[in-house]
Amino acid sequence: AQRVTQPEKLLSVFKGAPVELKCNYSYSGSPELFWYVQYSRQRLQLLLRHISRESIKGFTADLNKGETSFHLKKPFAQEEDSAMYYCALSRTGYSTLTFGKGTMLLVSP
């Protein structure tokens, strides 16, 4: 069965510092990987997905199949980035998602 691991429950950084939220997965096929974000008092929403290779709100994530990782990075954190971040995996040919436990990012001024 597939699994998504986010090793950090909480990541606390200062404004302007680089951020890396870790995500590792286990799946024998070719997965689709996603990052979802939940800001305070808002619903869970898609941040980015590996297949589109995009940068959203300054965040990027690269799929490393050798290390089975999909870490989320941003060079300079902003206070408005404070939120709960979930890494998720979709199996080949399926639309359902398997989520990690999430990492709370706290950016202090």
Q: What 3-state class would DSSP assign to 80? A: helix
Backbone angles phi, psi at 81, to 5 degrees: -80, -10
Tell me which residue has tokens 């940068």: 55
Residue 103 interacts with another protein (CB under 8 A): yes or no: no
Residue 49 interacts with another protein (CB under 8 A): yes or no: yes
Residue 27 interacts with another protein (CB under 8 A): yes or no: no
Q: What 3-state class would DSSP assign to 81? A: helix
Q: Binding residue for another protein (CB under 8 A) from 24, 60, 68, 98?
A: 98
List residues binding another protein (CB under 8 A). Answer: 1, 4, 9, 32, 43-46, 49, 51-52, 86, 90, 95-102
